[in-house]
Every structure is written in structure tokens, then in C-alpha cells.
Chains A and B, each alone.
Chain A
Amino acid sequence: MLLLLKFAVLLLTLGLCQGNRQPNILVEDVEDVEPAFEPSRFGSLWPLPQKVKISQDSFKLGSSFRIVDGKGSSAGSSCNILQNAYRRYYEYIFGGAKRQGLGKNRRSAPSELTELRVYITSADSECDGYPSVKSDESYDLSVVQPFAVLRAPKVWGALHGLETFSQLVYEDEYGAKSINATAISDFPRFAHRGILLDTSRHFLPVKVILANLETMAMNKFNVFHWHIVDDPSFPYLSRTFPQLSQQGSYHPYTHVYTPADVKMVIEFARLRGIRVVPEFDTPGHTQSWGKGQPDLLTPCYSGATPSGTFGPVNPILNTTYDFMAQFFKEISSVFPDGYVHLGGDEVDFTCWKSNPDIQKFMDAQGFGKDYSKLESFYIQKLLNIVTTTKKGYIIWQEVFDNGVTLKPDTVVHVWIGSGTNEEMSKVTAAGYTTILSAPWYLDYISIGQDWRNYYKVEPLNFNGTEKQKALVIGGEACLWGEFVDATNLTPRLWPRASAVGERLWSSKDVTDLNDAFNRLSVHRCRMVERGIPAEPLFYSYCPREYKGL
């Protein structure tokens, strides 16, 4: 899905040549905004909750402050997700320095907040489960004296509520942790709020993935779309087909994800209410698969003889489908999420066209010269295979565009940057659930505050009925890996992805760019303080600059 966008960039450049003022307007727009460092009336909340009421009354968080399970909560001390989150947020709130000892038995001052009580209100807290696209993520938070109360039907909402609570805490002029009396009622606008990381073009050490899951939680993202393999390398260590990474990764030991690594990522994500949706993109984008799996890829021909190069997955061999059946059986058990992303984008037909066996097959099937029919034939068989594993599937938009028969619950992922709104109309008119990524390709960089462009996107701004719009379950910010690895990924992603995070979480009418700038500036400094090298929005400073050099 990269080629077309490159083209779009080229167009933009050409636009410049013709004296098209548009890029300049964008830049001027940035210039006009003298950064207004006025504090927002919503403090540093990000993404902005659906309903917020912050009063002027403030309380101190004393040394005895605790986050505790509320009495009668359906999740108790055995709930790992919550207990881990309590500790995490306690450390975030107090900066890791646990101020023990001093006045431990001191009676709390009248303006002191002593506890945050967390109640899971529905009978099944889902504490031991995995988040899903249907998870209830809502919560209510009330900060009053002497106890703040967080209520959520499920643990997923409680996690978001804890993040929100931690964002309400600030330091007064004496450095004391303070919080204002607040009432918040919150839920996400969209159920699918994702980040795509590409671990094939550059290998990302597990540590980097975990750090970004941590940051995703700070921004209330809930889907890690793991574009784990692609042409350049195959770092996924398959138990069934170990040769795939043995031969196809950059290095078979240092540049692979072992089953233990994958497990760690999934559990780390679960503890933060994040789904891990793996993508195994076929039939294109599979050069690295061919190294460890002979006969999987189509041999390309030069004239009448094989040229020694290979094209997409070979769709005419039964062995291909046997392989896929076994492979996706493994995937369906390794990745607990209800969905797997099957790719299906950017299939180049030239190699198929060159191969005489494929031509024969095309004739036998009556496909004529229409290679998109062959592609559909492959995808169709693949979808049937994946259906038997009881997983739902997500596919890039071309699969839909090419008219492949899809199950009604298929999710179509829209990524092409031109005609996006028309595509959204078409896909939803056909009754398919949709995810939007086209406006949020964060690997495209330019000088200036491009987060504003991501922020201004309105995902439902296409022609369609209310019913169609309800089919848009969310969006994803994509950080493709051509120019990104562990050295620059985190500052490139954050806080630019945060802009997408608010668009997908907050109410449709949260569109005030100045207020967003004010909140996001502080939110970015909070990420920095939590050890995440989130880059600056514009000239300014953070009270505590990044120290992780």
C-alpha cells in the first residue's frame, strides 16, 4: 500500500512546481498560530473525555493516597489487570518516588484525597479475558472528597479511567500533587483505535514494541496492528514452519520474534486493554516467505525459462493451500484476538503473467486475461481456510475493490489516499464494517505541525446513511517501516499519533485546534516525563526534559 502514496507525495511536489499555493497555505497556517501557552480549561486531558466537569476546588494527594478496589467490585485483588494498573498509575502519579514514612499515621488534612476506589460494576469483569472489538470501554470518574470513585462495567473501562485520573493530577506551585474536584463520564466514539507498526522493513526490538504499547495506553488506543512480515524480512518464528524465519529474517537469532516474545507482547497489551491483531499479508508482499518455503512463490519467467526471481504466492498449487491451512491454524492459536489481518494489497501481476503454468491455469478456469480473477480465486480460498479457524478477518481495500466474495462480518481497511470518501461510501453501502487509515500515514513526514492535519480529519465525512456510518468502527495510524527503526520510531510516532487518538476517542465536535494544542503540549511533556521520547509540537519546553539519552 506504499506505492500509491508515494505517488501522492510526488503529486504534492508537482503541485509545488505549478505554484499551487496549497502547501504554503498549510505552512502559513502553522505560522499564524503563535503557540498559545494558555492552559486549557480541560487541563491536560488527552483524549478529551465525552463529558467533563472540572471545578475550582482542589485537593491534595497525600502520602497515604492509595488506589484500591471498591467494596463490592466484581474484580478483586486477584485481578491482575487492575492490580498491575494500580501500581503503574501510582508510579506515574508520584513519579516513581514513593514518598513513604512521612506522616504515615497523620490524619489527612481536610482538603486531602486519600483514595481512588475502583468498582467494576458488571458481574463479569472480563479480568481474565482479552479485549475485543465489542468490549465495553466506558467508565465514570468522580473526584470528590475524601474518596475519588471510578466505576466501569468492565476492566477495560477502568484502565482508561485510571489513565484519565492520572492526567487530572498536577503539581501545585509547591510541588504537591493536586487534583481538582471533577466529574467525568466517558466512552470511546470508535471501537477500533489502532496503531500499525511494521516489523519487516526494519526489525523492532521487543522493548520498542512494549514501549509503544505503553504509550498507546496513555492515548487510549486499543489495537496494535502488527504488520509482522512483508517482503524484506520474516521475523515471526513459526513453530510449524521454523524455516520461514530461519531463512527469511534478517538474522535467525537476533532479528526474530520467538513464541515467548509474541506471548509477552500479547500479555503486555492485554494488561493495557490493547488487542494484538497480526497481519500476514498475502499473496503479494511475500518475498521473504519464499526463502524458507520452497514452491510457495510463483517463479517468474523471462521468455520461456524461469528467470530465477519470484512473484506473489503461487495460487495454482494445492501445496500452497495446504501450507496456508497449517500456517493460519498456528496463527489462530498463537494470537488470541478474534481477528487476523490478511492483507491482500498491491498484488503485481507481471510475474503471474510471465508464468506459462499460470496462463494454462487461467485458461482452464476461464479467467481469460483478467488476473484480478486469479487474485480473487486465491483470496477466496484463503478466506475459506481462515474461516475454519473461527477467526474474523480484516483485509486491505483492494480485496473488496476486486469483488471477492466476503463474509458479511469482514472488516475492510481503507488506505488509499485518493478517493477515500468515495471508497468509504462504497464499502459501507455494501454493508461491510470499515477501518480508516488513508489520512493517517504517519511515515510521511514534512516540516511543521502536521499533527493538525491528522486532527482535522472527520472519519464520517462521506456520503452515506446513518446506518452506513455506523459501520465505520474506527481507524488506524500507520507507521510503515521504510525509514523507521528503533532509533527514531518513538519520537516520530508520538505525539503525532496522539492527534489520531483524540479523533477516534472524543466526541465529533471536539475540533478546537487551539485548545487541542494547549492540551497536547502538556500531554506530550507528560509522555516525556514518563520516559517516552515524544517529540515537540513547536518551540517550547517541558519542565522535565527528556533524559533518556
Chain B
Amino acid sequence: MAWGQNISEPCLLKTGIGCPAVSAGDEAEMGVMSTVSSGQHTRPMCYLLLLMILQLGLHTAEGVWPLPQTLISSTERFHLSPQAFYFGYGRQSAAQQGCSVLDAAFKRYFALIFPDYTSGRWNLFSDKNEKDGTLPFNVDKQFTVEVSVDHNDCDGYPNESSSERYNLSVFSGRASLKAVTVWGALRGLESFSQLVYQDDFGSYFVNKTDIKDFPRFQFRGILLDTSRHYLPVQAILKTLDAMAYSKFNVFHWHIVDDPSFPYQSRTFPDLSSKGAFHPMTHIYTQSDVRRVISHARMRGIRVLPEFDSPGHTKSWGKGQPDLLTPCYKGGIPSGTFGPINPALPSTYHFMATLFKEVSVVFPDSYIHLGGDEVDFSCWKSNPYVRAFMQKMGFGSDFTKLEAFYMENIVNITSALNKTSIVWQDVFDYHERIPKDTVLHIWKGTPASYYAELSRMTKAGMRVVLAAPWYINHISYGQDWHNYYTVQPLNFSGTEEQKKLVIGGEVCMWGEYVDATNLTPRLWPRASAAAERLWSDEKQTSNVDMAFPRLQDFRCKLVRRGIQAEPLYVGHCKQEYQGI
């Protein structure tokens, strides 16, 4: 691609501000809305063909987003009545009534499956019927969704090796959902809820369907940045809801950064009382954090906190004296501060104490340590840092100093039994990092991130890819095409290497995003990435075929109260009712 060489250069900042948006120049494609008629999609793909047939038929399900690995559906349909609809546990299931995750999910999905019923409109109808005497007894045929899981992990947290595999079969009068874990059962419930549709008279139906499904990648994340703008807890919870609808399973919480430190630390309360935008209203209390983690757990989502250092820490310095490096100008301190001071023992003591707290507060086995975009100019200016360099024998190579710092931090988290995840810079500057560290690619064009993927996996490192999904970059048109057509494994490497790519992440950096515009900017654009990370790439490589499905899914999101923006000209049966 011709534009590659030009746009890579100025993209130096991790959040990508300062980089021209990657405009795919797909203006020509904007009008392309036909899907089935073009005749070029006639490869033998049974499920897709079936889906397409369903789309042509009236009043049928438009399918499931992201597309299951195999989905066989027939036109035979079964009526569902909210008064005769039940969730239940299979007799063989390891989890039974009382399983917090599934009990809560049943309640949630009942409301999602029967939106009219729970909004009260249905009651109006049935009351009227009763008064008319037309419904003396319940004539509706019962329908039960029977859920069975192999493991009772109801009280645990999803983790990096949790199985999300499930099988779902819909028959007359019942559906059978089988999964290894409750997390897999949650994915199956989501798929089931998307199979249910309403006809023009408001009746609910589900078609005879058979799904065998599992994610292509284990790690499917969304990054939210709560430092550049504070996001009220409500906005985070709503994002978690929408993540579950697209089967995302990692909430990467970029909780602090230069502009503000909203995390209220138990050990160092000054960090937020001095470093937050406001010490009372713009912080996350411990109970806020617990609420987020619990809300995420209920949806099978891991919460991966990022405490980025040694750069991106301006806000830390306000509440923690001597943590940041004083910058010098002409032999005297200039009054400004740079990255964390790597030359002081007190720094490591502080970091060990902070990460000890973080490792307790956040149950996930990963901690994101950042490590990106460290500016050396302040370190260079500081005579004490330079003296430390001499003492350590680093010469004038400041990447060695950075490596020294990061190694110390990684050792701290290792001692806490946590897996470290770091931005790619840490690997780029010094490849000597523990093998179990996960690397996070954020830079560059397809050409450069493919090269990086090759290098990293060749070194035996596990990798998460974020570079193609910087969704805070907006541009005119259907840019979801760009997120959809990413081929994460299209780099040169062995099969073993490819297995080391554990997933991908959609990043919504916060320069221009807060509670006013987060949701429509994130959805349904992130959903395009979700299908790439969950589904089979061969079955989902065509944007024209994806378009009607994604359009339908977007309306489902709107119906569920998520203000997902439109893909193009058109309408939803139920438009968003807020402003």
C-alpha cells in the first residue's frame, strides 16, 4: 500500500494523536450495499449460504455476531412466549441453581430476549386479553433452554486459559446449551439471544439451529482510557454490557496516565487526591473498582489494569514526591519533571508497594506495566541520573537505563505471581525480558506490525495485537471495513509462532472521548474487530457479506439501549430514544 511509508513516520505517540488517520480511500465502496446478487461469493460455505438464504426470507433471524464457527439453521421456526419460557440447568451440569454467574445471566438474557415483555408493553396486551376472557388459561407451549457445564467455576474469575467453547442446539420446545465452563455458557446464551426475533405482530420466534462455537483468539480486548477523560463508572459498566454482546472478554483498563490519576489507592491516597482531575468526583474508589470487576466477571470479562510507567506518569508525581525525575536546565532543576526516577531505591520500594496493592485489588493474573514512549531528555538532563548511569556501566545508552527499570518492575510483578504485559517498546529496546511476558503491539502499518509479529514470536514471546484497531482514529466513511479486514496471522512465521499470537485489542484512547461520545464512537466499529478475533477468518473475510449482518447487529445493540452509531444510510425498527 502506497500510503504506508508516509503515515508510519509521524505516528510516534502511543495514542496515535499526531498520526494522520488511516483513510482507506474506500469512498468508492460506500454505496456498495448489495450482498448476494454479485455472484462472486459462491464458494461452498454451507453455513454462510444458509445465513444468506435466511436473510432473504421474511421474518427470520439475521444470525449471530460474531459469526459462530459453525452454524446450521433451518427455516423451521418455533414460537416463544415469555410466559412459558424457562432457563434451566441440565441434570448432568456441574453448575446448578445458585450459580451466581448463570442465575444472573438467565435474568439478564430473559430481558434481552423479550424486550417488550420487560418494558411493560406485553403486560398491556395480556391484561386486555384477560379482561376479554380470551385467554382463560395459558395455551403457550413451553420452551426451555437447558444449560450444562462441565466445571463449576461459578465463583471464579475468567482467566487466560478459560474455555469459551459451547454447543447450542435449538429444537422444538427446548434448546440445549453445553459448555465446558460457565464462561462458555455465557457466550452460548448471547448467541441464543441473538437467534430470537420478532415478527411484525410482535411474536417471538427462534429457528431450528445447531451451533458449534469457540473463539479463534483467547484474548479479545477493549482498552478504555480513564485518565485523559474521566469516565463515570456507569459508562464503564455500559461498555462491559456491550462487550459481552460482541463476545469481548478483556477489559484493558488504562486507568492512569499523564493527565490524571483517578485510581484511589488504599496505600497511597495522595495519588488520586492530588493527581485526579477532582479528588472527590473524578476518582474510582475501591468499591467502584470492585463493582467494575464484578460486573465484568458476571459477563465473563477479565479486567486487566494498566499502571503505565516509567513514562506517562505526570499525574503520579503530584501525590508522590520524589517519584518523578526532576529535569534540569543549565545545571539547576527547571521545576518540571520527567519519567519516574529510576536511580532512586525509594522508587522501587514505592512501586513494589503499589503493585502489591494492585495485585490484590485486581484478581486477573495479568498486570499491564506499560513501558511505552519514554522520553530520555529529562533523564539526560539530570546529573544524578547520569551519575547512576556511570555507576551501573550503562555509558550513555539510556535504553539500558529503561531496561534496568522495566526489569525491576517485571520482577516485582513476577514475585506477586502475576504475568506482565508490556507495550512493544520494551521488546524493541531490549529483548532480554522474561519469556512469560506478553508483548502488546501498538505501532505502525500492516507491514511494520507483521515484521514485529514475526520478530516477537520468533523470540518465543506471546503477543497481543492492537495496532490495526486504534479506534480513536476517526475518519469519514465506513472505516469498520479497515478493522474487519485485518489478518492478524498474515505474517511470516511457523505454525508454532502463530500460536503465540494470543489475540487482539481495540484501543479507545481518551484525548477526544468522554461519556458524551464514547458509546457511539466505540460501537459498532469495535464489533467489526470482535468478529475478526472470534470467528473463522475464511468465513468472514468479505465486508459486503458482513454489512447486512453488522447492520442488523447494530440495531440489536440500539434496541438493547447501546447507542451504537449507524454504518450507513438506513434505519432501525426501533431507533435510539435518547438524544
- Chain A interface (Cβ < 8 Å from any Cβ of B): 6-7, 9-10, 12-14, 16-17, 19, 23-24, 27-28, 30-31, 201-203, 205, 207-208, 211, 232-233, 250-251, 254-255, 443-448, 481-488, 490-492, 528, 531-549
Contact = CB atoms under 8 A, between A and B. Distances in A.
A378 to B, nearest CB: 26
Interface string B454-481: 0000000000000000001111110000
Contact of A202 (B27, B229, B520, B570): B570
B511 interface: yes
A477 to B, nearest CB: 16
Interface stretch (B322-330, B544-552, B571-579): B571-579
Interface stretch (B301-309, B437-445, B561-569): B561-569
B515 A545 contact: yes
A483 B566 contact: yes
Contacts of B510: 539
B573 A254 contact: yes
B569 A545 contact: no
A536 B512 contact: yes
A251 B229 contact: no
Contacts of A491: 516-517, 520
B520 A487 contact: yes
Given A31-B18, A548-B579, A483 B474 contact: no
B277 A17 contact: no
A539 B282 CA distance: 14
B262 to A, nearest CB: 10
Given A13-B23, A443-B476, A533 B571 contact: no
Closest 6 CB pairs of A and B: A488-B520, A491-B517, A539-B228, A533-B516, A541-B277, A487-B563
Given A201-B569, A483-B566, A6 B281 contact: no
Given A203-B571, A445-B476, A546-B516, 13 more contacts: A9-B477, A24-B10, A24-B20, A31-B18, A446-B475, A447-B473, A483-B565, A491-B520, A534-B516, A535-B514, A540-B277, A546-B514, A547-B234
B564 A549 contact: no
A293 to B, nearest CB: 21
B513 interface: yes
A252 to B, nearest CB: 12
A533 B232 contact: no
B124 interface: no
A487 B512 contact: no
Contacts of B25: 10, 13-14
B558 interface: yes
Given A483-B565, A488-B563, A19 B516 contact: no
B234 A549 contact: yes
B235 interface: yes
Given A445-B474, A484-B566, A488-B565, A549 B277 contact: no
Tell me which of A251, A485, A540 has the highest count of chain B C-beta atoms within 10 A of its own C-beta.
A485
Nearest to A231: B569
B7 interface: yes
B563 to A, nearest CB: 4
Contact of B517 (A255, A486, A535): A535
A13 B20 CA distance: 10
A488 B517 contact: yes
Contacts of B2: 17
A398 to B, nearest CB: 21
B472 to A, nearest CB: 7
Nearest to B231: A545
A232 B27 contact: no
Contact of A549 (B21, B228, B232, B259): B232
A118 B235 CA distance: 41
B575 A486 contact: yes
B229 A539 contact: yes
Contacts of A534: 516
A547 B16 CA distance: 28
Interface residues of B, number: 62
B62 to A, nearest CB: 17
A205 B571 CA distance: 12
Nearest to B571: A250
B363 to A, nearest CB: 26
Given A16-B3, A207-B577, A543 B278 contact: yes
Contact of A6 (B7, B27, B260, B564): B27
A490 B579 contact: yes
A81 B549 CA distance: 48
* Secondary structure class of chain B's binding surface, majority of residues: loop
Given A208-B579, A487-B563, A541-B282, A535 B516 contact: yes
Contacts of B282: 541, 545
Interface string B502-519: 000000001111111101
Contacts of A536: 229, 512-514, 516-517
Given A207-B579, A485-B575, A27 B20 contact: yes
Interface string B258-294: 0110000000000000000110011000000000000
A19 B510 CA distance: 28
Contacts of B229: 536, 539-541
Contacts of A28: 18
B569 A481 contact: yes
Contact of A255 (B10, B281, B513, B571): B571
Nearest to A249: B571
10 contacts: A6-B30, A211-B579, A254-B575, A446-B21, A447-B475, A448-B17, A483-B566, A484-B566, A533-B516, A541-B260
* Chain B CB within 10 A, most for which of A17, A208, A543: A17
Interface centre among A6, A531, A549 (most CB of B within 10 A): A549
Nearest to B578: A548
Interface in B484-539: 510-517, 519-521
B278 A541 contact: yes
Interface in B189-238: 228-230, 232, 234-235, 238
Contact of A251 (B20, B259, B513, B573): B573
Nearest to B514: A536
A487 B510 CA distance: 19
Nearest to A27: B18
A31 B558 CA distance: 35
Nearest to A200: B569
Nearest to B228: A539
Contacts of A546: 232, 514-516
